Amino acid sequence: MTKPEPTARQSLPAPQQQAPAKAAASSGIPASGTPKQVPVIIVGGGQAGLSVSRHLCRHGIAHVVFERNRRFHSWRVNRWDSFCLVTPNWQCRLPDFPYQGNDADGFMLKDEITDYLDAFAESFDPPLRECVAVKKIFHHAGGYVVETSEGVWSADQVVIATGGYDTPIVPPCAERLDPSITQIHSREYRRPSQLPEGASLVVGTGQSGVQIMEDLVRDGRKVHLAVGAAPRSPRKYRGRDATDWLYDMGHYAITIAQHPDPQKALTQTNHYMSGRDGGKEIDLRRFVVEDGVSLYGSLAGMEGSRIEFLPDLEKNLDDADRSYCGIRDQIDAYIARQGIDAPEEPPFEKLWRPEREVTGIDAAELGITSIVWSIGFRPDYSWIDVDVFDDRGKPVFDRGVTKAPGFYFIGLGWLNTWGSGRFLAIDEDSRFLADAIVRRHAEAAASA
């Protein structure tokens, strides 16, 4: 496959003059005084926020990026030691800064990812203020007031680039679990030695859950796994990585507006597979046969050392396999249409089926001493007092542009395409928002 080339650098118009700062009104402004003014504020110093910054720097638009920790904090701190990308390195295409290594079809490890991101930031020296927390944002006098841990600022435009992984999800029933059993969320998991000796229960089969499960299996642990409704994907199929085929098929270019089932796209858990050992599939049935992993259905509740599960294990496994086979079928059809000479693959076979659904276990009897929660995160927008949310508290936008003038989101899944929120489409998404910011900035300067 011909990998996508970096986007050609476009010729840019001369930077616009900054619009004059708005005078601070008395109502709503903290007593600390007149806010410091800047045309654009970006909240979040990850790859999404700094990608917007990169484009604004090219346009000559003054701005500041606030990051409550260090840049790329979640990559440095909130990943386990053996973490690696699930998508191939060639999909890493930050603005003017594609993957720099010599293994485009490989999967960068945690430290390699942070090295790549640091090199990107150093390539253009963004106006980044690290360890500055944004406490509140509200609309005021035609712009926005941004209260931070280092004072109050105002801006004509604001970009929210904090992502959707603020609050780890742990079910209320966890409070009723025997306190002798260690509980940890995937965000805090680093390595098997963190956990006490004994068996572990991993709850959740998204990307994190299945990879942490394998990490524990490799450590020689007895592992129990509560299997959710996440779909799975082939890794290598008919001579190539499945993501290579899907890219060529235009799958990743489909927008949320073009998707046949937008609601499903927005709510479905990511397909699970792994980039470990050069990339491989995750077949949970194989882990039962080869590694003795015990599988259960979705978690239903817990009390003391008793843990209950729904009788949906077989359904969840079958649904995941249906997704897996569906992707294979799509690739087969594409190969046939294009007349591509590709090696054949043996038909899919289920290696194991549950003889019965186990809906309850006693953790003490099974020697389970720890639980790893891998059931996701919730975003926290409580600090944003701007009318851009629906009744469920989710931001409403079109490609990141909200109905509030000059207020934007980036770095969220399906902002526009599947690649939104991932390395694959961050350049396209950030370029689109930067262009919108530039247009609004020019309009403000012209009317001043």
Residues 330 and 413 reside in one and the same domain:
no
* 388 and 315 both lie in a single domain: no
Both 389 and 287 in one domain: the answer is: no
What integer pLDDT is reported at residue 287 of this predicted model?
A: 98
Q: What's the structural domain count of the chain?
A: 2
Retrieve residue 153's tokens: 């600022």
Residue 268 is predicted with a pLDDT of: 86
For residue 448, the model assigns a pLDDT of 75
Q: Quick one: pLDDT at residue 18?
A: 34
348 located within any domain: yes
17 within some domain: no
Q: Which amino acid, residue 43? A: V
Provide the residue-wise pLDDT of the chain in tens; the chain has 448 residues.
Answer: 344 433 322 222 333 333 333 333 334 555 556 889 999 999 999 999 999 999 999 999 999 999 999 999 999 999 999 999 999 999 999 999 999 999 999 999 999 999 999 999 999 999 999 999 999 999 998 899 999 999 999 999 999 999 988 999 999 999 999 999 999 999 999 999 999 999 999 999 999 999 999 999 999 999 999 999 999 999 999 999 999 999 999 999 999 999 999 988 888 889 999 999 999 999 999 999 999 999 999 999 999 999 999 999 999 999 999 999 999 999 999 999 999 999 999 999 999 999 999 999 999 999 999 999 999 999 999 999 999 999 999 999 999 999 999 999 999 999 999 999 899 999 999 999 999 999 999 998 898 7
Q: What is the largest CA-CA distance in the chain?
A: 74
Residues 386 and 351 in one domain: no
Please indicate, yes or no, whether residues 218 and 121 belong to a single structural domain of this protein. no
Task: Calculate the CA 286 to chain-centre distance.
Answer: 27
Is 154 in the same domain as 182? no
Q: Are residues 188 and 160 in the same domain?
A: no
Give residue 13's pLDDT.
31
Single out the residue in 321, 345, 373 at which a domain terminates. Answer: 373
- DSSP 8-state class, residue 334: H
283 and 179 fall within a common domain: yes
User: Which of 361, 373, 343, 228 shows the shortest CA–CA distance to 302?
Assistant: 361
Residues 368 and 384 in one domain: no
Q: What is the pLDDT of residue 27?
A: 41
DSSP symbols for 123-181: TT---EEET--EEEEEEETTEEEEEETTEEEEEEEEEE---S-SEE---GGGGGB-TTS
Please tell me the distance from the alpha carbon of residue 274 to that of residue 6, in angstroms, as a whole number.
26
Phi and psi at residue 328, in whole multiples of 5°?
-60, -45
User: How confident is the model at residue 16, as a pLDDT?
Assistant: 34
Beta-bridge mates of residue 272:
232
Q: What CATH number should be reported for the domain holding residue 130?
A: 3.50.50.60
Q: Which domain holds residue 113?
A: 36-166+379-447
Helices (H), ranges, 46-146: 47-59, 73-77, 110-122
Helix (H) or strand (E) holding 275: none
Residue 145 lies in a domain: yes
* pLDDT for 32: 54
Residue 128 lies inside a defined structural domain of this protein: yes
Domain boundary among 373, 393, 421: 373
